[in-house]
């Protein structure tokens, strides 16, 4: 036996198994290999988008990365098992010719055993081949099962994410629009009910994002479903309510802080997707529409100091927007038409 080749195969198998378990069976996000593979693919797709302006590569990014992850696991397991069979020259026997197998035969045997086909023209020869074949057969079955159980919750979590995004747009599609929509002439108390609902929804998404970091790479070109844009608008609304709107006009402080902490629980998962605060701070929201409605706003050094204290948070939101293929100006999208429009044929 070639122990160097065998140890290399075992090591590769253990690394792959660790990555697979950390990605699909834990709540700590993606494994070391999967995390970097996902980010590398997304960086390439983002570069294509920036060069061509096309959003189709980003829209396909989540599904493409998900398939790439599954193929990567398969190839790594296939390679590691092949190395272990290759390490023992007489581990397999060709039934038709009754002769030892070649390296190509061993790779072929490993592949169809991993797929649970079991063609039968090549068989294990001796205890080493028997045990390794049994382990490989179970590995193939487990890989298929994990692939299915991993796909379903990811898709479900993506639907929840888009649901949250659309919910936010029903409040308004920019900071000013949300605030003007819920100004009753005296205060913003009517925001309390939707904010309470959003708090639990965003906490759920934060946990989903922590468990399935691949969710970050599912992109929507429809701004109503663009989670990063609408979440940023929502967080900017909270900043306005907490630091620019007088306390007498604010919704319940506990409601505001509950939603703020819920968004924070999502933001702290972003470093897992290699997203960190940038160097440039985004501009403060435009407030002319609020002033025109007679909303009293706090201005001056007090507000500037408040924005200075949360500059890292806003820089992180800017980095999040850019990493999803958008710009800060895309936040000022204006109203969406939520009515159903059918064209006559």
Encode pLDDT of 271-301 as tens digits.
Answer: 888 899 999 999 988 888 888 888 888 888 9
Which two tokens mark 115?
A: 């797929």
What pLDDT sits at residue 345? 46
For the chain, give every domain's residue range: 3-148, 155-331
Low-confidence ranges of the chain (pLDDT < 70): 116-120, 333-345
Is residue 295 within 8 Å of 248, Cβ to Cβ? no
Instruction: Give 167-228 as a DSSP string.
Output: HHHHH-SSHHHHHHHT--SS--GGGHHHHHHHHHHHHHHHHHHHH-GGGGG---SSTTT-HH
Over residues 93-119, the pLDDT tens digits come to 777 777 778 888 888 888 887 776 655
What percent of the residues of the chain are helix, what percent strand, and what percent coil, each to the nearest 5?
70, 0, 30
The SS3 call for residue 277 is coil
| The pairing of beta strand 92-94 with beta strand 122-124 | antiparallel
The matching CATH number, chosen from 3.40.50.12780, 3.30.70.2190, 1.10.287.70, 1.10.3470.10, for 3-148 is 1.10.287.70
Q: What is the pLDDT of residue 338?
A: 54
Q: Are 62 and 214 in contact (CB under 8 A)?
A: yes
- The pLDDT value recorded for residue 339 is 58
Beta bridge partners of 123: 93
pTM, two decimal places: 0.86
Compute the distance between CA of residue 168 and CA of residue 328 in angstroms, rounded to an integer: 17
| Per-residue model confidence (pLDDT) at position 22 | 86
- CA–CA gap between residue 343 and residue 329 (Å, rounded): 31
């Amino acid at each position: 036996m070639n122990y160097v080749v065998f140890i290399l195969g075992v090591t590769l198998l253990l690394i792959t198994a660790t990555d697979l378990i950390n990605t699909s069976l834990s709540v700590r996000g993606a494994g070391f290999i999967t995390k970097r593979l996902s980010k590398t693919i997304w960086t390439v797709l983002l570069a294509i988008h920036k060069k061509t302006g096309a959003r189709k590569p980003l829209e396909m990014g989540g599904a493409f990365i998900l398939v790439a992850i599954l193929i990567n696991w398969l190839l790594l397991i296939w390679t590691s098992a092949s190395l272990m069979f290759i390490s023992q020259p007489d581990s397999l026997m060709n039934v038709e010719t009754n002769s030892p197998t070649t390296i190509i035969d061993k790779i072929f045997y490993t592949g169809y055993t991993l797929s649970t086909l079991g063609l039968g023209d090549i068989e294990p020869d001796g205890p080493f081949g028997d045990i390794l074949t049994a382990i490989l057969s179970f590995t193939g079955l487990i890989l298929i099962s994990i692939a299915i159980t991993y796909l379903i919750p990811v898709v479900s979590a993506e639907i929840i994410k888009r649901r949250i995004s659309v919910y936010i747009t029903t409040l308004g599609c920019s900071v000013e629009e949300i605030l003007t929509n819920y100004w009753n002439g005296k205060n913003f108390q009517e925001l309390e009910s939707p904010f309470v609902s959003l708090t639990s929804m965003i906490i759920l998404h934060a946990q989903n994002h922590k468990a399935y970091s691949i969710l970050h790479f599912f992109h929507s070109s429809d701004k109503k479903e663009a989670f990063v844009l609408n979440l940023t608008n929502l967080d900017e609304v909270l900043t306005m309510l907490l630091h620019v709107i007088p306390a007498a006009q604010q919704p319940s402080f506990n409601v505001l802080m509950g939603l703020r902490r819920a968004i924070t629980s999502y933001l702290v998962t972003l470093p897992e997707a290699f997203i960190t605060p940038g160097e440039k701070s985004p501009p403060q929201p435009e407030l002319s529409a609020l002033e025109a409605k007679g909303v009293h706003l706090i201005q001056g050094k007090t507000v500037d100091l408040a924005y200075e204290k949360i500059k890292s948070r806003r820089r992180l939101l800017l980095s999040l927007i850019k990493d999803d293929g958008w710009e800060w100006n895309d936040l000022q999208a204006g109203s969406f038409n939520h009515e159903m429009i059918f064209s006559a044929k």
